[in-house]
């Protein structure tokens, strides 16, 4: 068995255990394989092991991978999870299925305008910074609510939930403390939004804490593909 296939199996097992611990089914938590900087053959190994959802941080790199696999594996789902510059929105709107990192109204507006209508709405998440540090990406809780009301009015965007990237932290209790505010905002915001079902939190080193806090999608890179070069 290839090491990537083995790693995927292990991660799936970790998700399973973490979900059961908090009384949920493992299929409540989706696995996004973060393939940034990883070569095509590593991605192909993951695809052949059954992985369908991939996350990329850099627009050009992501698009060349999307195009490479498009004909052979048409059912893959590509998520853009990196910072968004406004001159890249057009390329993102035309190639990706999901965007996790919306943190400005202007970016939402451009994605909405530039999404080809025939593709159906782009599935989007708002990136929230719950640590209150200005240096970190993401909007605060009040800004997230305003941005959500704006996205609700965009016909070519479907607001699916929230995403966060907390500070690296090795203590699992502190990891959970960092996820808790996003989980409660998620529960508050979903009450009037039937499609609001995705809480994107948890990476290789904090996925158990994220799942215990209510994550529905973990973004895993190094634990699948090895450490980044």
Q: Tokens 């990196």 correspond to what residue?
A: 82
CB 180 within 8 A of CB 213: yes
β-sheet bridge partners, residue 158: 123
d(CA 174, CA 189): 24
Among 11, 34, 47, 182, binds ligand PLP (CB under 6 A): 34
Among 62, 166, 214, 221, binds ligand PLP (CB under 6 A): 221
Residue among 7 and 112 whose Cβ is closer to ligand PLP: 7
- Scanning residues 70 to 89, which ones bind ligand PLP (CB under 6 A)? 81
Q: Measured on CA atoms in the order 203, 207, 209, 211, is the torsion positive or negative?
A: positive
For residue 139, the minimal CB distance to ligand PLP (Å) is 15
Please tell me whether residue 217 binds ligand PLP under the rule CB under 6 A: no
- Span near ligand PLP by CB under 6 A; candidates 64-72, 117-125, 186-194, 201-209: 201-209
Please tell me whether residue 127 binds ligand PLP under the rule CB under 6 A: no
- For 143, other C-beta atoms within 10 Å of its C-beta total 16
Among 43, 102, 203, 211, binds ligand PLP (CB under 6 A): 203
Tell me the three state secondary structure of residue 121: coil
Count of H helices and E strands in the chain? 9, 8
Among 204, 213, 215, 216, binds ligand PLP (CB under 6 A): 204
Please tell me whether residue 57 binds ligand PLP under the rule CB under 6 A: yes
Helix (H) or strand (E) holding 200: strand 198-200
Please tell me whether residue 125 binds ligand PLP under the rule CB under 6 A: no
Please tell me whether residue 165 binds ligand PLP under the rule CB under 6 A: yes
CB 126 within 8 A of CB 158: no
Q: Which residues bind ligand PLP (CB under 6 A)?
A: 34, 36, 57, 81, 165, 203-205, 219-223
């Amino acid at each position: 068995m290839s090491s990537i296939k083995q790693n995927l199996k292990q991660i799936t097992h970790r998700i399973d255990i973490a979900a059961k611990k908090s009384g949920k089914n493992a299929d409540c938590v989706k696995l996004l394989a973060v393939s940034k900087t990883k070569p095509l053959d590593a991605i192909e190994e993951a695809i052949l092991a059954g992985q369908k959802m991939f996350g990329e941080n850099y627009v050009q790199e992501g698009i060349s991978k999307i195009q490479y696999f498009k004909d052979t594996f048409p059912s893959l789902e590509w998520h853009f999870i990196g910072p968004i510059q406004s001159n890249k929105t057009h390329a993102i709107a035309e190639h990706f299925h999901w965007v996790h990192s919306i943190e400005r109204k202007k970016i939402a507006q451009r994605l909405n305008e530039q999404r080809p209508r025939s593709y159906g709405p782009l599935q989007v998440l708002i990136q929230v910074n719950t640590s209150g540090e200005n240096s970190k990406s993401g909007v605060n809780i009040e800004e997230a609510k305003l941005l959500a009301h704006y996205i609700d009015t965009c016909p070519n965007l479907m607001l699916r939930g929230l995403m966060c990237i907390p500070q690296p932290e090795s203590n699992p209790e502190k990891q959970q403390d960092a996820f808790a505010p996003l989980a409660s905002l998620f529960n508050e915001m979903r009450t009037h939004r039937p499609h609001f079902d995705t809480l994107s939190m948890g990476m290789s080193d904090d996925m158990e804490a994220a799942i215990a806090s209510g994550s529905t999608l973990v973004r895993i890179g190094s634990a699948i593909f090895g450490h980044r070069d």
